[in-house]
Chains A and B, each alone.
Chain A
């Protein structure tokens, strides 16, 4: 057996062992055992994924494991990439989880160190490792459902503490199962048309199918995979489930699970169906552009820290979808080099997003655990109280805002390059779509800066705005270690993306069905293959560092030379300034909210209560402002209301009378017989 195969087997074995430990071990040692097992499984997953990226593929056929179909597993470079990313995120999340579930002073009760929750964590990781390795329709659907169920149980971990958890889990359960349903429909239809369900058979049969069948398969599966990736308008579960799940679960879901939606699109669309028409990929690109814009617009006005991060996930998955859509589109138009570049850029952004979103969700969890609050308007002043967490969040925020020297900048630069180099073209669709996509990426990057300046500046700097933030303490070492590992990965990806780019090119090559072409080369300076364009992340980082150090030294030398007088902070002579005078997350985002008023449709509600004596004397004024998710209100509420109406009407049919039920059975049976008699 190859390295990839044995490491993958070890990863699954360790996950199973950790799950057993979670069920059997006593409460005192349970988190440690589960954490260690999951970490080891994650490391083995990374080894397997990297080995598969390097070309060491493996496949397995276990006919007896599942009745009727059996289990078919295979790892190629494309699956290997997702296994490696999932494994790396699992390592960070598992190390972090050990400290997170330990009892602490701020929040009473356990944080999810119960048997069920602890056993679910390694199972969830194993399911996410299995999805990219599944090599037949039935295997993929089973592990996909396993992943959905385990993550659903993990989202429910804190349901006794907050009522909102139950609602979030309901949304998630319904959305993920509707997603499964359409994937099931699409893939079963595909398998029926191909007369076989292993991926090899599907791949061989896809070429002979009519474009209509292939298009239908792609469109239905895209719907399911896009809902898993949190792409607008199927994102509604994401800003609910991510904030309510324990933070290490949020990190796993947001950094690893949503990626598998992208994997599904790549596997089915590019690999199994072998490309296809342009409209498929224009659809993917449009969905990506819509989610990137809508996600970041909601993130910029969000006040809940974890909700903000969840919307940022929607945004980043949108950017990845833009890369994937552009890659597929270029492949369909015949420009292979450009397709490789766009897809590599998309995949690099996916890897980068996994890195920084792990950092951000883990540090947000540290803040939540230390202060008991996710509300940015109640945070602040954490720089002196939680210095390490603040530094880690700053690294994540820099990466997420796509500014140099963060790692997000590299992938967005590559993405923009691939879109821009498509332009000297005669095709109308390309000439219209690509400039629009460039504009979307640019606007998204700008709004992301505002979002993360807000999250970091309001959440961590200045003075504490609430009692929780005032009494915050630094997190335990294991939480810092888990977050720190991810932060180190971010820094490494920022200065040396060339280390992962060959692997990504191979994964893109596997998806596109072409030989591996390094679309970006060069160890320090990244150069595009076939196009003019180069950029050196390392040199940019060094130059920025030198400039910052130089500016600081200059200011310092100036300050030291002049006589200094210590004076009281100028407070207009009125006495001490309070924390309430500071900028809040709401006030920081207000100008942007006003600019995008028509899109966001914020709701404000003023309620004035006059005194009993006179209508002109005011006793109380209540002001409420919120920015609801407009898509949810416009798209989902009417559907939910209609479903409820149908359900309530149907309730009238069942009045509890046995005679009536027998009558229904009788009439249905005879009706069926009549129908059969007529149509036969």
Chain B
């Protein structure tokens, strides 16, 4: 076993373990942290596959932003663990069946027997100055610019949806302040200099 294979199996072992712990951990915060570990090790495996841009983006976006917000929410929630555990055993057979089915399907796909993957040539070795990032950027902004722009619109819709469904402005006498209005205030708005003649005793 060469070094790369060793690293691969090492990372995979961590990945599988962390993935399992995500669903078995009793504490949701622990589960979220294991998910972070899962992403991180997955990124490691991608680096091994020379997809360094995707790996770093995975860490940057999922670990650095998405999971932070996720953790934020999980920490704020008062999750009743007993309620969640209810019905675990009654759902287990169905869940196990679906899981098994997915495992079989994935093995069919990944096994590659049906896709003739054994015959497919491996990817050509990249030239020395090959930059994964540059290539991805070039493709995204040329060949795939149309779906790229569409994806940005989908994100925009997500943004609009989140705002329209959740943003509530309470008008009933709350003392909320508008920072923009506060910043805009000039001295003249608050203070009036009155010229008064000097008075004598």
Q: Do A and B come from one complex?
A: no
